[in-house]
Amino acid sequence: MSSAPGGKSRPLGFLLLVLGLGVRMDSGWDVVAWLLIGAGAATAASGLWALVRPRTREAFVPRRAGE
């Protein structure tokens, strides 16, 4: 099963982002739409960041002497 970092925030952010864009397309509720788009983008971005962050951390692991 999925245990990748950001495993909850990526799908959640995507869902909020798509809902916000949908509300903007289908209705005149622009304030609600922009709130959803902002929340979704931030959540999805944090999930994507969590996905790439472990790789960048590995570069800072100090090498032991003699390796």
Partner 1 sequence: MPPACRPGTAAAAAAVVGVAVFLALRGYAQTAGASRPADEAPPLLGPRVRAWYKGVLAPFEDQLAAWGVRPDLLTYAQLGVSVLAGAAFWVGWIFVAGWLTILAGTLDILDGGVARRNGAAGPRGALIDSVVDRYAEFATFLGLGAFFRDSWVLLAVAVAAFTSLMVSYTRARAEALGVALSAGRAQRPERYVVLGFGAWLSGLVAHLACPVLGHPTHVVLAAAVVLLAALSAWTALARARLAFQALGGGAA
Q: Rule CB under 8 A: which residues touch partner 1?
A: 1-3, 7-8, 10-11, 14-15, 17-19, 21-28
Provide the 10 A C-beta neighbour count for residue 40. Answer: 20
Q: Which CB, 30 or 65, lies closer to partner 1?
A: 30
DSSP string, 4-63: -TTTTHHHHHHHHHHHHHHHHHHSS-HHHHHHHHHHHHHHHHHHHHHHHHHHHHHTTSPP
> Minimum Å distance from CB 62 to partner 1?
31
**Closer CB to partner 1, 3 or 56, in the complex:** 3
Shortest reach from residue 55's CB to partner 1, in Å: 15
